[in-house]
Structure 1
Amino acid sequence: MSSVAVIGDIDTVTGFKIGGVKKGFIVEKDEDAKNALNELIETDISIIIITEKIADNIREHINKKIGSDVLPMIIEIPDKFGSSDRDVDPMGELIKRVIGVEMVK
C-alpha cells in the first residue's frame, strides 16, 4: 500500500487532483460515497482523504469497514464551507487507533 485517494465534492477532488492525487471520487449521494470507500478498501490505497460532511453521513459504514484497522488510514478534512461541529475529534481518534495512545489537551 502506498497510494492516496480522495472522496469529496467536486471542488475538493479537483483541488487534490491538481495537487497530484490520481484517484478521486466526486460524490453527491451517501450511497456513492459508500461505494467509493468499498472500492478503495479493495485496492492498494493506504490513505483515504474524505470531507468531514461526507464522512459524518457515512460514519457507521466507515466504522464497519475500517474498524480498528490501521490501514487504510482515513483522514477527514473540511470542505470549502469549513469544519463541521463535532463531539469527537477525528484526528485524535486516528492517533489513538494508529499508536494506541489517547492524546489529551
Structure 2
Amino acid sequence: MSSVAIIGDIDTVSGFRLGGVKEAEVVNTAEEAITAFDKFLDDEISIIIITQVLANEIREHINRKIGSSVLPMIIEIPDKDGSSEGSSDQMNDLIKRVIGVEMVK
C-alpha cells in the first residue's frame, strides 16, 4: 500500500488529478461510488479520498468493508457545494481510529 486515490464528482477529481493524484474515479451515483471504492480496496490503495456527499451515501458499505482497520485511511472532503454537517464528528472518528484515543473537547 502506498498510493492515494480520489472518488468524487468531475470538478473534485479534476482538481486532484491536476495536483498529481493518478488513481481517480469520477462517479455520479452511489452504485458507481461502491464500485470505485471496492476497486481501490482491491488495488491496496493506502489513502482513499472521497467527497462527503458520496461517503454519506455509501457509509454502511464503507463501514462493512473496512471495519475498524487503520488502512486504508478514508478521508472525506467537501465537494464543490461545501461541507456537510457532522464533519467534525467524522474527524474525531478518524483520529480515534488512527491513534486509538478519543479526543475530548
Question: Taking structure 2 as the reference length, what is the TM-score of the superposition?
Answer: 0.96
Amino acid of the residue matched to residue 38 of structure 1? D
SS at match of 2:85: coil
The equivalent of 2:6 in structure 1 is 6
Cα distance in 2 between the residues matched to 1:83 and 1:42: 28
Query: Please, what is the CA RMSD of the aligned residues?
Result: 1.2
The equivalent of 2:96 in structure 1 is 96
The equivalent of 1:30 in structure 2 is 30
The equivalent of 1:56 in structure 2 is 56
The equivalent of 2:66 in structure 1 is 66
- What's the % identity of the aligned pairs? 65
SS at match of 1:89: helix
Cα distance in 2 between the residues matched to 1:40 and 1:100: 25
> After the TM superposition, which parts of structure 1 deviate over 3 Å for at least 4 consecutive aligned residues?
none
SS at match of 1:74: strand
Question: Taking structure 1 as the reference length, what is the TM-score of the superposition?
Answer: 0.96
Amino acid of the residue matched to residue 53 of structure 2? K
Aligned residues: 105
CA-CA distance at 1:91 after TM superposition:
1.4
**Gap runs ≥5 in structure 1:** none
Cα distance in 2 between the residues matched to 1:92 and 1:36: 25
